[in-house]
Amino acid sequence: MADAPAFGVQTIELDLPAVAGAFGQRLHAAGVPMTPARLTDLARALALVRPISRRRLYWTARAVLVSDPTQVERQGMGIWVVLFLLLFTGIAYMLKKEYWKDVR
Protein backbone atom coordinates (compact mmCIF):
# COMPACT_ATOMS: atom_id res chain seq x y z
CA MET A 1 0.00 0.00 0.00
CA ALA A 2 3.00 2.31 0.49
CA ASP A 3 3.68 2.25 -3.28
CA ALA A 4 0.30 3.84 -4.14
CA PRO A 5 0.59 7.34 -5.61
CA ALA A 6 -0.52 10.21 -3.42
CA PHE A 7 -4.05 11.47 -4.12
CA GLY A 8 -4.48 8.98 -6.94
CA VAL A 9 -2.24 10.98 -9.31
CA GLN A 10 -0.40 8.89 -11.82
CA THR A 11 2.42 10.09 -14.05
CA ILE A 12 2.33 8.78 -17.60
CA GLU A 13 4.96 9.17 -20.27
CA LEU A 14 3.78 10.43 -23.64
CA ASP A 15 5.54 10.62 -26.96
CA LEU A 16 5.30 14.41 -27.13
CA PRO A 17 6.34 14.83 -30.78
CA ALA A 18 3.59 12.38 -31.76
CA VAL A 19 1.10 14.27 -29.58
CA ALA A 20 2.15 17.55 -31.22
CA GLY A 21 1.76 15.99 -34.68
CA ALA A 22 -1.72 14.64 -33.95
CA PHE A 23 -2.72 17.95 -32.37
CA GLY A 24 -1.47 19.81 -35.44
CA GLN A 25 -3.45 17.55 -37.76
CA ARG A 26 -6.62 18.22 -35.78
CA LEU A 27 -6.00 21.96 -35.81
CA HIS A 28 -5.37 21.86 -39.56
CA ALA A 29 -8.57 19.88 -40.10
CA ALA A 30 -10.42 22.53 -38.08
CA GLY A 31 -9.12 25.26 -40.40
CA VAL A 32 -6.23 26.60 -38.33
CA PRO A 33 -3.21 27.32 -40.56
CA MET A 34 -0.53 24.88 -39.39
CA THR A 35 2.83 24.52 -41.09
CA PRO A 36 5.44 21.83 -40.51
CA ALA A 37 7.73 24.47 -39.00
CA ARG A 38 5.11 25.44 -36.40
CA LEU A 39 4.56 21.78 -35.53
CA THR A 40 8.29 21.28 -35.15
CA ASP A 41 8.48 24.31 -32.86
CA LEU A 42 5.58 22.95 -30.79
CA ALA A 43 7.23 19.52 -30.49
CA ARG A 44 10.51 21.13 -29.38
CA ALA A 45 8.74 23.32 -26.84
CA LEU A 46 6.82 20.34 -25.41
CA ALA A 47 10.04 18.34 -25.13
CA LEU A 48 11.69 21.27 -23.34
CA VAL A 49 8.85 22.19 -20.97
CA ARG A 50 7.49 18.67 -20.32
CA PRO A 51 3.97 19.85 -19.43
CA ILE A 52 2.64 18.11 -16.33
CA SER A 53 -0.81 19.70 -16.39
CA ARG A 54 -3.37 20.84 -18.92
CA ARG A 55 -2.73 24.44 -17.95
CA ARG A 56 0.98 24.14 -18.65
CA LEU A 57 0.25 22.37 -21.95
CA TYR A 58 -2.20 25.14 -22.89
CA TRP A 59 0.24 27.96 -22.18
CA THR A 60 3.11 26.19 -23.92
CA ALA A 61 1.04 25.61 -27.05
CA ARG A 62 -0.35 29.13 -26.94
CA ALA A 63 3.13 30.66 -26.63
CA VAL A 64 4.32 28.70 -29.66
CA LEU A 65 1.24 28.85 -31.89
CA VAL A 66 0.09 32.44 -31.36
CA SER A 67 2.22 34.27 -33.90
CA ASP A 68 0.54 37.68 -33.68
CA PRO A 69 0.07 39.44 -30.33
CA THR A 70 -3.23 40.89 -31.53
CA GLN A 71 -4.66 37.35 -31.70
CA VAL A 72 -4.81 37.31 -27.91
CA GLU A 73 -6.52 40.72 -27.92
CA ARG A 74 -9.08 39.59 -30.49
CA GLN A 75 -9.80 36.42 -28.53
CA GLY A 76 -10.50 38.42 -25.38
CA MET A 77 -12.65 40.88 -27.29
CA GLY A 78 -14.66 38.05 -28.85
CA ILE A 79 -16.17 37.14 -25.50
CA TRP A 80 -17.50 40.69 -25.07
CA VAL A 81 -18.90 40.71 -28.60
CA VAL A 82 -20.80 37.47 -27.96
CA LEU A 83 -22.16 38.83 -24.66
CA PHE A 84 -23.27 42.05 -26.38
CA LEU A 85 -25.01 40.10 -29.13
CA LEU A 86 -26.82 37.92 -26.59
CA LEU A 87 -27.97 40.98 -24.65
CA PHE A 88 -29.05 42.77 -27.83
CA THR A 89 -30.94 39.68 -29.02
CA GLY A 90 -32.79 39.48 -25.69
CA ILE A 91 -33.76 43.16 -25.85
CA ALA A 92 -34.86 42.85 -29.49
CA TYR A 93 -36.97 39.77 -28.66
CA MET A 94 -38.70 41.54 -25.74
CA LEU A 95 -39.34 44.58 -27.96
CA LYS A 96 -40.80 42.37 -30.68
CA LYS A 97 -43.09 40.69 -28.15
CA GLU A 98 -44.28 44.09 -26.92
CA TYR A 99 -44.97 45.44 -30.43
CA TRP A 100 -46.72 42.29 -31.69
CA LYS A 101 -48.67 41.32 -28.57
CA ASP A 102 -51.99 42.57 -29.97
CA VAL A 103 -51.60 40.97 -33.40
CA ARG A 104 -52.85 37.43 -33.72
Mean pLDDT along residues 83-102: 93
What pTM was computed for the model?
0.52
Domain ranges of the chain: 1-67, 68-104
Nearest in space to 60 (alpha carbons), one of 35, 13, 23: 23
Mean pLDDT along residues 27-38: 83
Q: What is the full DSSP assignment across 1-33?
A: -TTSPGGG-------HHHHHHHHHHHHHHTT--
- Of residues 91 and 49, more confidently modeled: 91
